[in-house]
Amino acid sequence: MANQHGDFVWYELLTSDADAAARFYNAVIGWQDRPAEGATNGYRIFKIDGTDVAGFMNLPAGAESAGMRPCWLGYIGVRDVDAAASDIVRAGGEQHMPPTDIPGVGRFAMLTDPQ
């Protein structure tokens, strides 16, 4: 079954210690980790029973000094990333990364709601 407009489609952990996170989630819920194919930024994938369930990596350079803290992110699938990003900003949300292509994956943007 294909994802529907509005479904959560991916989860991602941005952390201050990716190795510690890998050990923690392995011990607590049995997730294994592997490097993401083609990633040059240390991005890794959590998997269980051969199924990829989430991505994770250390916070990007400069993110902590800009006020970002370790967090889990949820990605929501939409029919049109550009239109959805524009609608979110118009409704009072904030855009942190504009719509961008990830080769071989799709198009995404990073936004927050007003709350």
pLDDT tens-digit profile of 17-35?
999 999 999 999 999 999 9
Q: Does a structural domain hold residue 4?
A: no
pTM of the model: 0.83
Domain that holds residue 93: 78-115
Distance (Å, whole) CA 98 – CA 113: 15
Q: Does a structural domain hold residue 100?
A: yes
pLDDT single digits (tens) 26-74: 999 999 999 998 888 899 999 999 999 999 999 988 888 888 899 999 9
Within a 10 A sphere around the Cβ of 62, how many other Cβ atoms? 8
43: domain CATH number is 3.10.180.10
Q: Single out the residue of 54, 65, 71, 59 nearest to residue 112, CA to CA.
A: 71
